[in-house]
Amino acid sequence: MTSSAPHGGARPPNRHATEVGSTGGERLRADFETLSVVVLTTSYPRGPDDVAGVFVRDAVEHLRAAGLEVEVVSPAAFRHFGLAYGHGIVGNLRRKPWRVVLLPLFLLSYARAARRATRGADLVHAHWLPSALPALATRKPFVVQLWGTDVALARRVPWLARRLLRRARLAIAPSEQLAADARALGARHVAVVPGGVDIPDEVAQPQDPPHVLYVGRLSEEKGVQELAAATSGLARVVVGDGPLRSLFPDAVGFVPPRELGPYYERAAAVVCPSRREGYGVVAREAMAHGRPVVASVVGGLLDAVEDGVTGLLVEARDAGALRVAIERLLSDDELRNRLGAAAREQARERWAWDVATRATLAAYRTAATSGGTSGNLAPGA
């Protein structure tokens, strides 16, 4: 079973964590020099400035750098009937519900592309639960990775989710909350594997006067109504776009991933007020830049932010508490510096790309050799 601990408490030692953390790069290359993996994903960048599925692409590039042979199947490589990209599959269907009749064609096209790509593959890595359907069509061993939005959809059709998760060699989750969700949906074998983030060699001092930063989609589930209320009259920068952008006339829109670093550096603190959050990559990126995070007490944010140690936690949907926490950080240099330093150290130990890549390779080893297990494959997670 995946290890767990009360909020703010230390996690018990984990056998898998020791094995993963002690594996050197050359040994990884030797272990996987003959393993071929195909990644199936419904979201993947089509160019350097595309923000769709950037975290999937980054993970693939680091796996390749570790010596693994990886091929990617995404809607950029097969006909997606206008369902992918733009606002994402779920968002596109909400805007044009009639497109639901195209889903069988989309899945058929996806499955055909998956079968072609996996003819010589040893293992399939399906990102998001719907990708398990074309993974099944390949008749190859596969792992399925949950990210959060797929879990919300799976609860509407639990019988299908259960069948897909039971057929996977391993369910991979980036947070303890999503691991628990996977088990509740019927997964027998679950591993917690962190998503990686870049750790800058050094970071600059934030701008003066201090301001708070939000990065992400401007939509209801991200808690942006509370964000708008809590930051009214405060110095803020909002990077993102979405259906609730009208709440933020000062929003700068989406920014290419390679240009986000300076936004984190200029900020005194970063706010993640989500109503639900499977993982929370923005919180972890902010911590990698040494910035304290104000986060709501939901999902994967609880794996990242320790209240009073690396940031401040508030209840979701509580604009008043959110404002108090933001004002506290903006007005206290010593507190910001202390929390930010601890946040950066935690990011380096738990979410650096070498850590995440070793954990992913360990999950592949488990799936390819033993047919699945349960465990936490993240050092220190």
Q: What is the pLDDT of residues 226-275, one digit of tens each?
A: 999 999 999 999 999 999 999 999 999 999 888 999 999 999 999 999 99
Does the domain at 212-350 match CATH 3.30.1050.10? Answer given as no
pLDDT the model gives residue 370: 64
pLDDT the model gives residue 358: 95
Q: What is the pLDDT of residues 115-144, one digit of tens each?
A: 999 999 999 999 999 999 999 999 999 999
Between vectors from CA 162 to CA 159 and to CA 163, what angle results, nearest 5°?
90
Sheet arrangement for strand 69-73: 69-73, 36-40, 123-127, 142-145, 170-173, 190-192, 375-376
Query: Rounded to whole angstroms, how far apart are CA atoms 312 and 130?
Result: 35
Q: In the chain, count of helices (H) and strands (E)? A: 16, 12
Count of CB atoms situated within 10 Å of the CB of 237? 18
More confident residue, 4 or 293: 293
Regarding the domain with residue range 15-196+352-376, which homologous superfamily does it belong to in the CATH classification? Answer: Glycogen Phosphorylase B; (3.40.50.2000)
pLDDT the model gives residue 368: 87
Query: Rounded to whole angstroms, how far apart are CA atoms 41 and 120?
Result: 19
Looking at 185-254, list the stretches that DSSP marks H as alpha helix, in order from N- to C-terminal side.
224-230
Q: What is the pLDDT of residues 331-341, one digit of tens each?
A: 999 999 999 99
| pLDDT band (50, 70, 90) for residue 153 | confident
Query: Rounded to whole angstroms, how far apart are CA atoms 282 and 238?
Result: 13
Domain boundaries defined on the chain: 15-196+352-376, 212-350
Domain 15-196+352-376 shares a fold with domain 212-350: yes
> Three-state DSSP class for 6?
coil
**Residues contacting residue 278 through CB under 8 Å, at least 6 positions apart:** 146, 147, 148, 149, 151, 174, 175, 177, 178, 299, 300
- Classify burial at 6, counting beta carbons within 10 Å of its beta carbon; exposed 0-12, middle 13-18, buried 19 or more: exposed
CB 39 within 8 A of CB 127: yes
